[in-house]
Chains A and B, each alone.
Chain A
């Protein structure tokens, strides 16, 4: 696999006061592959995501996306460049319909700016129609959510809300799709559906995916590359097989010395 990375994180250090959330983390996300970041609770997985999407400013290190250093780029600009993400806790706009939520994902792609959109009704309306058609075809049908698109998101079951959030991220036309625990809290069936969608995105559309997940089974099944974080440090990285047998990983996950139950096997 000698694909050049779309996104690379290079020696990133992130501290909150005395707490070291990330210490010297480096990670390459290869084009068209599924890269997973795993690790016990508090390992710094979400901090890494927040640093990549620009909500946290690392004190040291840099992030390069498609050859551009984005370390000092604002979150909304990074999103517009093609870094789309979902959140660990469903972050949909609860007062709105499914369709409005998804359309917001396409917001940044519309040519007419805020003031233009107010003035040029004609153009902005045509754009809107085009966006709608595209979303129905490429996102809503694909994720099998056309039956709920006019419902308010607040009324949907959790599994569907997660799917709507994925739909909204897809509407952004991501170059890297970042999924923060896409199957957390889902039952077996919902988890399998979601895993299938993620695999389809990679296999049929060649999408580059970076995901955080607790569900070890799913991570090992669908990922091409796995990076393991523990206490803010990268302790292992490689193919699922390599990582599974890595002694550091086994220690971090199974807590060999403490003898605790394996937190990562649940779900």
Chain B
């Protein structure tokens, strides 16, 4: 492989890593906010994409309205899930919550399959298709723009957590719920909001993934791949998973360039495995994470 294609594969890899970072952020939000790993993340992604698809293609809403509709639907779903499924489990071992999210994922998966069927659907155009030509380098348009959308969402959330009052309260409740409670912060409310944010992050990511490839229930499997990113970055580190997303995206792309498409899923995980042997708590994670 020559230098030019190395640079090209690297750029494509880093740009597609943005989406990985975004999905990983969804995992980290839930983990930091509730100490649970949400195995239904992929189903949130899928459901968000299906809702937007339905609003646009079936109800004929303009795209921006369809996106708003889809996000509202995901917010509602996240609130219901928090209220009906997770709150009754408050105080139970983390493993129980984890199992319930797996069940929740299966339920959402089945529901989507039952309503929309298992076939591939054509998502509306979300991102410009036109490829970018930089000299001899060619970057596919959707991948390039997906990176910036992901980055914008991540930046907006980071600013929110850093500066807004509710965001700071959410961080407080995540880092020490008892003390937050004693300060008069409604910890249940902040946990609800955490689910809403994570759901929206998932819906945005799912919609972009579906518009780059196509929409089918198989979309939910994307999130499982992202678990490697989350573990690599550190379950409780937002910055860690952003970096890890870009690293894994780059590794995937380079693996494809060197060894062909089959290596795509193998090489990055070998590297992640190797890194985890040295840093079992991830790149920027805290050491005292409970091993599951």
Contact = CB atoms under 8 A, between A and B. Distances in A.
Interface in A84-129: 84-85, 87, 91-96, 100, 103-105, 107-108, 110, 114, 117-118, 124, 128
B172 interface: yes
Given A91-B176, A93-B176, A94-B175, A117 B183 contact: no
Given A91-B176, A117-B164, A118-B166, A76 B171 contact: no
Nearest to B180: A104
B182 A107 contact: no
A225 interface: no
B189 A114 contact: yes
Contact of B169 (A55, A75, A80, A104): A104
A96 B184 contact: no
A166 B178 CA distance: 17
A93 to B, nearest CB: 5
B175 A95 contact: yes
B171 A95 contact: yes
Given A87-B179, A93-B172, A96-B171, A117 B166 contact: yes
Contacts of A75: 181-182
A107 B185 CA distance: 7
A38 interface: no
A87 B183 CA distance: 11
A103 B183 contact: no
B122 interface: no
A210 to B, nearest CB: 14
A246 B217 CA distance: 75
Contact of A114 (B168, B179, B181, B193): B193
A91 B179 contact: yes
Given A93-B171, A95-B171, A107 B184 contact: yes
Contacts of A96: 168, 171-172
Given A93-B172, A114-B193, A108 B183 contact: yes
A105 B185 CA distance: 9
A199 B171 CA distance: 33
Interface residues of B, number: 22
A168 interface: yes
Contacts, number: 73
A103 to B, nearest CB: 7
A176 interface: no
B186 interface: yes
A108 B185 contact: yes
Per DSSP, chain B at the interface is: helix
Contacts of B171: 93, 95-96
A93 B184 contact: no
Contact of B183 (A55, A79, A94, A100): A79
Nearest to B190: A114
B165 A172 contact: no
A100 B168 CA distance: 8
Nearest to A55: B178
A233 interface: no
B175 A104 contact: no
B164 A104 contact: no
Given A114-B193, A117-B165, A104 B172 contact: yes
A33 interface: no
Contacts of A208: none
Given A75-B181, A94-B175, A114-B193, A103 B168 contact: yes
A76 B193 CA distance: 17
Nearest to A110: B165
B187 interface: yes
Contacts of A53: 182
Contacts of A79: 181-184
Contacts of B178: 55, 91
A93 B179 contact: yes
Nearest to B179: A91
Contacts of A92: 179
Nearest to A81: B184
Contact of B185 (A76, A91, A94, A128): A76
Contacts of A91: 176, 178-179, 182
B169 A107 contact: yes
Contacts of B164: 117-118
B183 A107 contact: yes
Given A76-B182, A95-B171, A103-B168, 20 more contacts: A53-B182, A75-B182, A76-B183, A76-B184, A79-B182, A92-B179, A93-B171, A93-B176, A93-B179, A95-B175, A96-B172, A104-B169, A104-B172, A104-B185, A105-B183, A107-B183, A108-B183, A108-B185, A114-B193, A124-B165
19 contacts: A75-B182, A76-B181, A76-B183, A77-B184, A80-B184, A91-B176, A93-B176, A94-B175, A103-B168, A104-B169, A104-B172, A104-B180, A107-B185, A108-B184, A114-B166, A114-B193, A117-B166, A118-B166, A168-B183
Q: 8 nearest interchain CB pairs?
A: A108-B184, A79-B184, A91-B179, A80-B184, A75-B181, A117-B166, A76-B184, A93-B172
